[in-house]
Structure 1
Amino acid sequence: MIPNDIQDLNDIKKMVDTFYTNVRQDEAIGPVFNEKIGERWPEHLEKMYRFWQTILLDTHTYSGSPFPPHKQLPVDKTHFDRWMAIFTTTIDSLFAGPLAEEAKLRAKNMAEMFNYKIEYFRQAEREQLK
């Protein structure tokens, strides 16, 4: 059976819930997420529903800047590569179509931007310590 494309908020919730279930169980990035989020998973998931609903369904339910909470995380390119691999596998297992492809592209762009910005801020901090 060929999966459907992402169509509505229920699909966004399915995508987000499945993805973060996989993330939380992952040996490489699960500990980073679980330590940072702690007991606030329901709040985080709600925010992610709104984020992806805004990006993919053009329903403006998310406002804010997604980068600042990630700025101080103890992560590097290997973490972002793992995050992206889990995201891609999750999407491909659940959906197929233009919005599913858009989700993967947006995630890839975000991962690359977050990694670049984190490295930039770390380098700037190292320069200040010299």
Structure 2
Amino acid sequence: MIVEMVNRFYGKVRQHPSLGPIFDGAIGDKWAEHLPKMYRFWSSVLNSSGLYSGNPMRAHMTLTQTVEPEDFGHWLVLFRETLDELFSADDADFIFEKAERIAESLSLGMFYNPASIHARINA
């Protein structure tokens, strides 16, 4: 099911008007390498399999010039849509909760800057 989830989700991502160009720019013609990495990532997240050993934050930090904070919202909408197509409501909720935490962590890592004027004004 993880393979089907990842394949279906990234099929949607690649067609999305704002996410597609971001992922195509980052991955290019290396989808055959990227998808198995995502299978291992989600297996590790959902099954504690330990198959994934990469550093998602480091990989995403290279994208701060092309990714906008709202892109995480688009990503989550497509992910939820995919989960609802494939899983029971309880399983979809469980997986989506993990995805929300991952998106929040990556977004904070990429865009949160406590030294920025915006952080000082909103404090």
Question: Into which bin does the TM-score normalised by the smaller protein fall?
Answer: 0.7 to 0.9
Bigger RCO of structures 1 and 2 (CA < 8 A, at least 6 apart) = 1
| 3-state SS, counterpart of residue 21 of structure 1 | helix
Match of 1:80 in 2: 72
Deviations 1:60-93 (A, max 9, x none): 2111211111112111221000000000001011
| 3-state SS, counterpart of residue 67 of structure 1 | helix
Measured in 1, the distance between the counterparts of 2:79 and 2:110 equals 20
Measured in 2, the distance between the counterparts of 1:91 and 1:98 equals 10
Measured in 2, the distance between the counterparts of 1:71 and 1:104 equals 23
* C-alpha displacement of 1:54: 1.0
Measured in 1, the distance between the counterparts of 2:11 and 2:19 equals 12
Match of 2:60 in 1: 70
- The 10-residue stretch of structure 1 (48-57 or 12-21) with the greater mean CA deviation from structure 2: 48-57
Match of 1:43 in 2: 33
Q: Structure 2, unaligned stretches of length 5 or more?
A: 117-123
* C-alpha displacement of 1:94: 1.1
RMSD, matched Cα: 1.6
Measured in 2, the distance between the counterparts of 1:107 and 1:119 equals 18
Match of 2:120 in 1: none
Deviations 1:11-35 (A, max 9, x none): 0000000000000000011100011
Q: Percent identity, please.
A: 38
